[in-house]
């Protein structure tokens, strides 16, 4: 493809044959994007491959009106708060990624675990949070990380309330952030890293 078209590939694990490949093509205009799509179709056809009709689309990133999900991240142009009118491509965990981590946290903090020592619950949660955070830390994930931390706090406070026979969740009153820190839960907030300009 031409020099102003950038392509990225990633083979999905668990797919034996043929390997599923996720492709993102970035073009300066919609016309070139359409040509790139047609070229991809023509190139793949002799190989017996095709673009997925439901997952192939062209989006306009200008001014942040649209975005796209790729490798677990949602990518979207966001206006600079310092330089109005200037937009930069940001990325953060996609809705699917957020739903996934919430499901994992929920699965490790069910009501039936109220009889367990919370230290064991935290020990089971920490590797999951640390692993998920390690992948999504390189991006603009601060707000999403805060959301996950709040959800973990709420789930643990609810579990502690059941454990001690207290009505309600009490996660903003009795079981505060200080209590949460004493439990030793891994917190995502503050772990975001940004790519170096010289990387």
Helix (H) or strand (E) holding 11: strand 6-11
E-strand ranges in 127-181 read: none
pLDDT in tens, the chain (199 residues): 344 444 444 445 554 445 556 778 888 888 998 998 899 889 888 988 888 888 888 888 888 889 999 999 999 999 988 888 888 999 999 999 999 999 999 999 999 999 999 999 999 999 999 999 999 999 899 999 999 999 999 999 999 999 888 876 666 678 888 998 999 999 999 999 875 444 3
Report the pLDDT value the prediction gives residue 3, as an integer from 0 to 100. 43
Reading the block at residue 139, the tokens are 């991006």
Say if residues 145 and 191 touch (Cβ distance below 8 Å): yes
- What pLDDT score was predicted for residue 195? 59
How confident is the model at residue 52, as a pLDDT?
85
Q: How far is CA 181 from CA 2, 32, 154, 178, in A?
A: 53, 52, 13, 5
pLDDT of residue 166: 85
Cα separation, 109 vs 162, in Å, equals 11
Instruction: Output helix, strand, coil percentages for the chain, rounded to the nearest 5.
Output: 45, 15, 40
């Amino acid at each position: 493809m031409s020099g102003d078209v950038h392509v990225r590939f990633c083979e999905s694990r668990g797919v034996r044959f043929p390997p599923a490949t996720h492709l993102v093509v970035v073009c300066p205009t919609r016309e070139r994007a359409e040509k790139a799509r047609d070229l991809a179709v023509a190139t793949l056809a002799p190989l017996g491959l095709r673009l997925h009709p439901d997952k192939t689309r062209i989006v306009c990133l200008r001014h942040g009106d649209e975005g796209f999900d790729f490798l677990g991240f949602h990518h979207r142009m966001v206006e600079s708060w310092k330089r109005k009118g200037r937009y930069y491509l940001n990325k953060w965990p996609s809705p699917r990624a957020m739903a996934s981590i919430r499901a994992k946290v929920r699965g490790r903090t069910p009501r039936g675990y109220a009889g367990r020592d919370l230290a064991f619950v935290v020990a089971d949660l920490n590797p999951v949070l640390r692993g998920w955070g390690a992948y999504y830390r390189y991006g603009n994930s601060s707000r999403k990380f805060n959301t996950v931390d709040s959800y973990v706090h709420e789930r643990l406070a609810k579990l502690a309330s059941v454990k001690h026979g207290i009505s309600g969740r009490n996660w903003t009153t009795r079981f505060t952030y200080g209590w949460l820190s004493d439990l030793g839960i891994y917190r995502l907030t503050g772990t975001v890293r940004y790519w170096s300009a010289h990387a």
